[in-house]
């Protein structure tokens, strides 16, 4: 080894001609080359090569950026749809919920005995247990008379166990006969109820086959199962939904006394309640709903598939760039091999180029995606926003994509044959 590296010696020195003692010819334990130099030099070479051809560099950056934006949008939509699917339940503010074990999704609830709410009150740590009624009905648009399915949520509005934004202000009004509160974040197809309410105050609307009074507005937001929401008092709900047994409810919201440990309260509720209800924390209730949308619908698959397509397109672009970089420099690469550069060194150059592209393509991609999230959120009412977790995840995917492209392009290095140089 050191025969080759002692370059200061005259060419006919014994060390060079192989006449040196055998022991000396064995690889001497010279200082190991630093890891920094091992990685830094190929990286610098890769960067100098990328930098030399601006047009190609920019098309590579654009390719990686495109892939990053595509993946960001797909994952963003996916999580926004799941978030919106569970928005109604997320906005219910109670610590523990009782639910029929057969309920798969909140828009299609199985009833549970209302008496479970009273049984739950047996525990000293339970402050309130409020039945929540869920049903779908139709809403006649006060602007143009069209009808559309709407989610109705009935509960004791003054008990304070359940809470939605804006509910406190209209709770007294909801006590009146046939009074309902409209969710102003419902889709616009329900009519511009907020404007009408501001202009006229309470007004009559048709829900199902009944004329009721629009007595105020709350803010919840549409979800998958329901484009809009109506909030009303328990008694009014039973007036409007006739065909139900009064002894059944759909969900029981439980508020605990301040300072109570939720997990132990949940455990005690399980002990005292029969098997026909499940006891869920708020997070578990939301997760249960989300699970339904993830497993029972193709939503999760569709967006995962979209992400993969984006990554494949990005990988092909990066591969093309790296491949043509190698192909155009085949003679130079072969020369480097001829003067003693190993395949492994050149492989590191290609890999470094791939990873440089990953970094400088991801950054503008993430910035563009953040901006697009805002644009799309405004247009679709979907809760879209950039999160650190998602950015980290997408960076990992882009990094892997570029590494895969680099590994594929490396095969071209074999064509750089120094023997064909002469």
CB nearer to other proteins: give 189 or 332.
332
Instruction: Find the shortest distance in angstroms from Cβ 3 to other proteins.
Output: 7
DSSP string, 182-205: EETTS-GGG--HHHHHHHHSSEEE
Residue written as token pair 């559309």: 148
Question: How do strand 203-207 and strand 251-256 relate by DSSP bridges?
Answer: unpaired
CB 78 to other proteins: min, Å:
41
CA–CA gap between residue 112 and residue 115 (Å, rounded): 9
Nearer to other proteins, 295 or 328 (CB): 328
**CA 381 to CA 186: how far, in whole Å?**
9
User: In this complex, which beta carbon is closest to other proteins, that of residue 8 or of residue 379?
Assistant: 8
Of 268 and 412, CB closest to other proteins: 412
**Element containing residue 370 per DSSP (H, E):** helix 343-380
Six token digits for residue 89 = 């339940």
Q: Is 168 in the site for other proteins (CB under 8 A)?
A: no
> Least distance (Å) from other proteins to the CB of residue 59?
17
Question: How big is the CA angle at 273 (ends 267 and 274), to the nearest 5 degrees?
Answer: 125
Which residue number, 40 or 305, has a Cβ lying nearer to other proteins?
Answer: 40
Cα–Cα distances in Å, from 73 out to 61, 263, 369, 371, 377?
18, 37, 7, 11, 11
Exposed (0-12), middle (13-18) or buried (19+): which is 126, by Cβ within 10 Å? buried
Tell me how far CA of residue 74 lies from CA of 270, 291, 360, 394, in angstroms.
39, 19, 21, 11
The least CB distance from residue 394 to other proteins, in Å, is: 31
For the segment 403-422, give every residue that binds other proteins (CB under 8 A).
418-419, 421-422
| Contact pick of 10, 23, 246, 388 for other proteins (by CB under 8 A) | 10
Give dist(CA 328, CA 398) in Å, integer. Answer: 25
Cα four-point dihedral sign 343, 348, 349, 353: positive
Q: Tell me the closest approach of the beta carbon of residue 33 to other proteins, in angstroms.
A: 3
Angle between helices 343-380 and 299-328 (to 10 degrees): 140
Work out how close the CB of 347 gets to other proteins at its nearest, in angstroms, rounded to a whole number.
13
Among the candidate windows 10-18, 181-189, 202-210, 295-303, which touches other proteins by CB under 8 A?
Answer: 10-18
Question: Any contact of residue 138 with other proteins (CB under 8 A)?
Answer: no
Cβ-based nearer residue to other proteins, 77 or 341: 341
Beta bridge partners of 182: 217, 230
Of the pair 48, 242, the CB lying nearest other proteins is at 48
Which CA distances in Å does 71 have to 59, 381, 398?
18, 20, 9
Q: Residue count at the site for other proteins (CB under 8 A)?
A: 43
The Cα–Cα gap between 145 and 123 comes to 49
- Minimum CB separation from other proteins for residue 334, in Å? 8
- Considering only residues 263-292, where is the footprint of other proteins by CB under 8 A? none
The answer to whether the beta carbons of residues 142 and 190 sit under 8 Å apart is: no
Neighbours of 113 (CB within 10 A): 19
Distance of closest approach, residue 40 Cβ to other proteins, in angstroms? 10
Say how many C-beta atoms besides its own lie within 10 A of residue 40's C-beta: 12
Q: Does 23 bind other proteins (CB under 8 A)?
A: no
Which stretch in 1-9, 101-109, 310-318, 348-356 sits in contact with other proteins by CB under 8 A? Answer: 1-9
User: Least Å distance between CB 51 and other proteins?
Assistant: 7
Supply the minimum distance, in Å, between the C-beta of residue 420 and other proteins: 8
With contacts defined by CB under 8 A, name the span among 27-35, 99-107, 187-195, 238-246 that binds other proteins: 27-35
Stretch that binds other proteins, among 28-36, 81-89, 97-105, 365-373 (CB under 8 A): 28-36
The span of 26-34, 127-135, 228-236, 385-393 binding other proteins (CB under 8 A) equals: 26-34
Q: What are phi and psi of 192, to 5 degrees?
A: -85, 70
Site for other proteins in 29-68 (CB under 8 A): 30-31, 33-34, 37-38, 41, 48-49, 51-53
Measured from the CB of residue 333, what is the shortest distance to other proteins in angstroms?
9
Helix (H) or strand (E) holding 231: strand 229-233
DSSP 211: E
299-358 residues near other proteins, rule: CB under 8 A:
329, 331-332, 334-342, 345
Do residues 401 and 87 lie in contact, with contact meaning Cβ atoms separated by under 8 Å?
Answer: no
- Residue with Cβ nearer other proteins (14 or 374): 14
Binding stretches for other proteins (CB under 8 A):
1, 3-5, 7-12, 16-19, 30-31, 33-34, 37-38, 41, 48-49, 51-53, 329, 331-332, 334-342, 345, 418-419, 421-422
């Amino acid at each position: 080894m050191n025969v080759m590296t002692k370059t200061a010696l005259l060419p006919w020195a014994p060390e060079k001609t192989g006449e040196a003692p055998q022991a000396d010819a064995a690889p001497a334990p010279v200082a190991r080359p630093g890891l920094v130099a091992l990685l830094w030099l190929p990286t610098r070479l890769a960067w100098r090569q990328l930098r030399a051809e601006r047009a190609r560099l920019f098309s590579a950056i654009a390719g990686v950026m495109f892939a990053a934006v595509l993946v960001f949008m797909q994952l963003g939509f996916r999580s926004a749809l799941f978030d919106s699917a569970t928005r109604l339940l997320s906005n219910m503010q109670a610590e523990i919920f009782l639910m029929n074990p057969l309920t798969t999704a909140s828009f299609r609830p199985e009833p549970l005995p209302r008496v479970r709410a009273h049984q739950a009150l047996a525990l000293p740590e339970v402050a309130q247990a409020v039945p929540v009624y869920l049903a779908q009905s139709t809403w006649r648009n006060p602007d143009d008379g069209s009808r559309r399915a709407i989610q109705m949520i009935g509960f004791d509005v003054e008990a304070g166990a359940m809470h939605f934004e804006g509910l406190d202000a209209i709770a007294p009004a909801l006590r009146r006969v046939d009074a309902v509160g409209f969710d102003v974040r419902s889709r616009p197809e329900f009519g511009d109820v907020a404007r009408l309410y501001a202009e006229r105050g309470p007004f009559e609307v048709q829900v199902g086959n009944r004329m009721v009074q629009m007595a105020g507005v709350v803010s919840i937001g549409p979800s998958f199962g329901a484009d809009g929401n109506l909030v009303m008092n328990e008694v009014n709900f039973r007036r409007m939904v006739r065909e139900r047994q009064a002894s059944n409810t759909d969900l029981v919201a439980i508020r605990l006394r301040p300072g109570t440990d939720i997990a132990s309260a949940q455990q005690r509720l399980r002990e005292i309640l029969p098997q026909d209800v499940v006891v869920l924390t708020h997070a578990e209730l939301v997760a249960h709903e989300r699970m339904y949308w993830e497993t029972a619908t193709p939503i999760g698959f569709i967006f995962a598939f979209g992400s993969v397509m984006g990554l494949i397109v990005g990988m092909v672009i990066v591969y093309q760039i790296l491949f043509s970089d190698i192909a155009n420099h085949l003679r130079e690469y072969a020369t480097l091999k001829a003067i003693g550069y190993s395949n492994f060194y050149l492989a590191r150059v290609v890999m470094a180029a791939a990873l440089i592209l990953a970094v400088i393509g991801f950054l503008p991609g993430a910035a563009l995606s953040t901006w697009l999230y805002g644009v799309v959120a405004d247009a679709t009412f979907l809760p879209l926003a950039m999160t650190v977790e998602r950015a980290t995840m997408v960076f990992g995917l882009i990094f892997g994509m570029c590494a895969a492209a680099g590994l594929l392009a490396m095969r071209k290095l074999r064509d750089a044959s120094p023997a064909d140089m002469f």
